[in-house]
Amino acid sequence: MTRSEVQVRLTGVFRDVFQSPELELWDAMAARDVPGWDSMNNVRLILSVEAEFACKFTLREIGKQQNVGELMDLIIKKTT
Amino acid sequence: MEICSITFLFPIILLGTLYPFLPSLIWRQLALGAVNVICISLLLPTWSSAAVFFFFILSGYGVGVTLRKHPNRSILVGYISLFVAAFVYLKHYSFLQLVFPAGMLHSSLVIVGLSYMLFRQIHFLIDQYQGSDDPLDLWGYLNYQINIFSLVSGPITRYPDFREDWDRLEPLWLSRYDLLMAYGRIWIGVIKVMVLGAIFYHYYSFAAPLWTPGAPTAAKFHAIRIVYLFYFFPIYIYFNFSGYCDIVIGCGYLYGLRIPENFKTPFLSRNMIEFWSRWHITLGVWIKDYLYTPMLRAVLTRFPKRGGNLAFLCYFIAFFIAGVWHGSTWNFVVYGLLQGLGVSVAKLWEMLLTRWLGREGHKRYLASRPVHWAAVGLNFHYFCFTCLIFGLSFSGLRQLGLTLGLHW
């Protein structure tokens, strides 16, 4: 799966979880950039990403993610 | 052995400064290993304590190796349960007296750094179970667990971070400026512990005995003594603990170990959730990663519709456990309840505000400076209140209540 394909599908997941249809993703985007991206919604996001990309993250992987770019890299690593 | 003492700091700093001149990684690992072994031998009071200490470490290593080859949930849960049970027993938790006769609870074993070992061990084992590709060998693992710069009072280092440094062990200072910065960090830590912390503790200890069980009657009301009691104890803890962290971070820097930061102006937090991301940061992050996230994940998987409401419960349980971990008496159960309550209320308030004001209105609310400083003040006072529970016994609190005119 290419990075741009991951970004398109991940954008859909973000829009759904944060109920923000206009939301656009960029690599350095972090929790502070998205209203409502708190620790509770982060777990919701992770569950939705796991369902969308049919993969499972470890606790260490969840804790290490700092921004959207790192999450995309992890999805690519997990799905290839 | 005190971390602030000349007998500790002088040899540690001297060896740390000569460290880059050691010819190879093996020599640097041997030197740091020797420092760790010497320090741990000075900290373990008896042979039986040493035997139990190394039993915990070696059994954790053995289980970790097994889990890496054969990820088995029963082994993971079984070992962690036994470790937690042993921790509760060795720490003499008060609630055990309700269940077991006093004779069964007597133990003279003193295991240095057991509280922090518990966190390191649990995270290490869960990572092995979930699949870790970090290098693993007994010598490296042993040094991770007995690393003197995080053994006694944290910060809670993670195995992958330690391992990355351990396999390189190149001093992080490249110039004289870096070296001076490391010395400066250690020096700032010593000032915090020995001067600032000592001053605040002096005034706190001047007031606190008036509200301890030995005091003959409830002390008369003296505003200044109440100030010492209420404000100076948390400030003392801050200077003492953050100073200690400055010292070990600076020393670790000399040896090529990146000890994680543990404090970031915590008294400027606007609520208890933010507070726990700025006070004892490595504990707050550990709690989030290894307690809160898996708990909430399990809840949201089973109850996707009601997960939002149950998230408060997860917050509450996670920070209640964090509070109880701090000490073994009933005070710490109350302290834990107050920490759980603080983070849960902060979360609830945030959700209610978003519902009432909308996202844009909530943004404006957060940007308001008067609201910000009012929240910071309120949060600071809430934390000071929880520290009263931390510092005084129940009978001391009762006497304090009498002094303030509260009769119960």
HEC secondary structure over chain A: CCHHHHHHHHHHHHHHHCCCCCCCCCCCCCHHHCCCCCHHHHHHHHHHHHHHHCCCCCHHHHHHCCCHHHHHHHHHHHHC
Q: Is A78 on the interface with B (CB under 8 A)?
A: no
Residue B244 and residue B279 in one domain: no
Biggest CA pair distance of chain A: 31
Neighbours of B289 (CB within 10 A): 18
At residue B213 the predicted structure's pLDDT band, cuts being 50, 70 and 90, is: low
Written as six digits, the tokens of B84 are: 């937690």
Residue B272 and residue B331 in one domain: yes
Residue B97 and residue B115 in one domain: yes
How many structural domains does chain B have? 3
Q: Do B127 and A40 touch (CB under 8 A)?
A: no
Q: Is B35 on the interface with A (CB under 8 A)?
A: no
Written as six digits, the tokens of B282 are: 């490595």
At residue B306 the predicted structure's pLDDT band, cuts being 50, 70 and 90, is: confident
Q: Do B127 and A59 touch (CB under 8 A)?
A: yes
Written as six digits, the tokens of B24 are: 């190879």
Show the domain range for B215: 176-255
Residue B17 and residue B108 in one domain: yes
Site of tokens 């040094």? B143
**Domains recognised in chain A with CATH numbers:** 3-79 (1.10.1200.10)
Q: Do A63 and B289 touch (CB under 8 A)?
A: yes
Query: Closest residue of B to A18, CA-based?
Result: B359
Written as six digits, the tokens of B396 are: 């001391």
Q: Judge whether residue A50 has pLDDT over 80.
A: yes
What pLDDT, on the 0 to 100 scale, is given for residue B215? 57
Residue B302 and residue B197 in one domain: no
Written as six digits, the tokens of B152 are: 């006694």
Q: Is B363 on the interface with A (CB under 8 A)?
A: yes
What pLDDT, on the 0 to 100 scale, is given for residue A69? 94
Task: Please give the C-alpha separations between residue B228 and each of B85, B114, B232, in angstroms, as whole numbers.
Answer: 38, 32, 5
Q: Is residue B373 part of a domain?
A: yes
Q: Judge whether residue B408 has pLDDT over 60.
A: no
Provide ipTM, 2 decimals: 0.89
Residue B275 and residue B399 in one domain: yes
Q: Do A62 and B289 touch (CB under 8 A)?
A: yes
Q: Do B347 and A40 touch (CB under 8 A)?
A: yes
**Cβ-based contacts of A59 with chain B (< 8 Å):** 126-127, 130, 289-290, 293-294
The CA distance from B110 to the nearest CA of chain A, in Å, is: 31
Q: Give the C-alpha separation, B294 to B46, whole Å.
A: 38
Residue B213 and residue B320 in one domain: no
At residue B283 the predicted structure's pLDDT band, cuts being 50, 70 and 90, is: very high
Residue B250 and residue B285 in one domain: no
At residue A1 the predicted structure's pLDDT band, cuts being 50, 70 and 90, is: confident
Domain termination residue (choose one: B202, B231, B255) = B255
What pLDDT, on the 0 to 100 scale, is given for residue A28? 92
Residue B271 and residue B382 in one domain: yes
Q: Is residue B261 part of a domain?
A: no
The CA distance from A63 to the nearest CA of chain B, in Å, is: 6
**Cβ-based contacts of A35 with chain B (< 8 Å):** 359, 362-363
At residue B1 the predicted structure's pLDDT band, cuts being 50, 70 and 90, is: low
Q: Is residue B358 part of a domain?
A: yes
The CA distance from B269 to the nearest CA of chain A, in Å, is: 16
Q: Do A59 and B132 touch (CB under 8 A)?
A: no
Q: Give the C-alpha separation, B3 to B149, whole Å.
A: 9
Residue B206 and residue B345 in one domain: no
Q: Give the C-alpha separation, B317 to B278, whole Å.
A: 20
Residue B99 and residue B154 in one domain: yes
What pLDDT, on the 0 to 100 scale, is given for residue B179? 86
Mean pLDDT of chain B: 86
Q: Is residue B297 part of a domain?
A: yes
Q: Averaged over B113-133, what is the pLDDT?
A: 91
Domain termination residue (choose one: B255, B281, B301) = B255
Written as six digits, the tokens of B34 are: 């020797």
Task: Provide DSSP, B71-87.
Answer: --HHHHHHHHHHHHHHH
The CA distance from A73 to the nearest CA of chain B, in Å, is: 17
| Cα pseudo-dihedral B112, B118, B124, B128, rounded to 10 | 130
Share of chain B above pLDDT 90, in %: 45
Neighbours of B336 (CB within 10 A): 23
Residue B276 and residue B329 in one domain: yes
Helix B138-146 vs helix B25-43: crossing angle, to nearest 10 = 50
Is B308 in contact with A40 (CB distance < 8 Å)? yes
More confident residue, B356 or B209: B356
Q: Averaged over A58-72, what is the pLDDT?
A: 91
Q: Is residue B332 part of a domain?
A: yes
Q: Is residue B274 part of a domain?
A: yes
Q: Give the C-alpha separation, B387 to B384, whole Å.
A: 5
Residues near B248 by Cβ (< 8 Å), separated by ≥ 6? B3, B149, B150, B155, B189, B259
Q: Give the C-alpha separation, B80 to B68, whole Å.
A: 15
The region of weakest confidence among B75-89, B109-123, B249-263 is B109-123
Q: Averaged over B63-74, what is the pLDDT?
A: 94
Domain termination residue (choose one: B231, B255, B279) = B255
The CA distance from A67 to the nearest CA of chain B, in Å, is: 16
Q: Judge whether residue B34 has pLDDT over 60.
A: yes
Contacts 24+ apart (CB under 8 A), B73-77: B73/B129, B76/B125, B76/B126, B76/B129
Please give the radius of gyration of chain A, using alpha carbons only, rounded to the nearest integer. Answer: 11
Q: Is A47 on the interface with B (CB under 8 A)?
A: yes
Query: Closest residue of A to B130, CA-based?
Result: A58
Is B109 in contact with B100 (CB distance < 8 Å)? no
Q: Judge whether residue B95 has pLDDT over 80.
A: no
Mutate to test the interface with B, among A17, A37, A59, A66 (most CBs of B within 10 A): A59
At residue B269 the predicted structure's pLDDT band, cuts being 50, 70 and 90, is: very high
Q: Judge whether residue B97 has pLDDT over 90.
A: no
Residues near B298 by Cβ (< 8 Å), separated by ≥ 6? none
At residue B226 the predicted structure's pLDDT band, cuts being 50, 70 and 90, is: confident
Nearest to B137 by CA among B145, B399, B311, B299: B145
At residue B60 the predicted structure's pLDDT band, cuts being 50, 70 and 90, is: very high
Q: Give the C-alpha separation, A10 to A49, whole Å.
A: 7
Q: Do B289 and A59 touch (CB under 8 A)?
A: yes
Q: What is the CB-side half-sphere exposure of residue B278 using CA atoms within 13 A?
A: 17
Q: Is residue B171 part of a domain?
A: no
Q: Is residue B247 part of a domain?
A: yes
Q: Which amino acid is at B97?
A: Q
What pLDDT, on the 0 to 100 scale, is given for residue B217? 56
- The whole-model pTM stands at 0.88
Q: Is A59 on the interface with B (CB under 8 A)?
A: yes
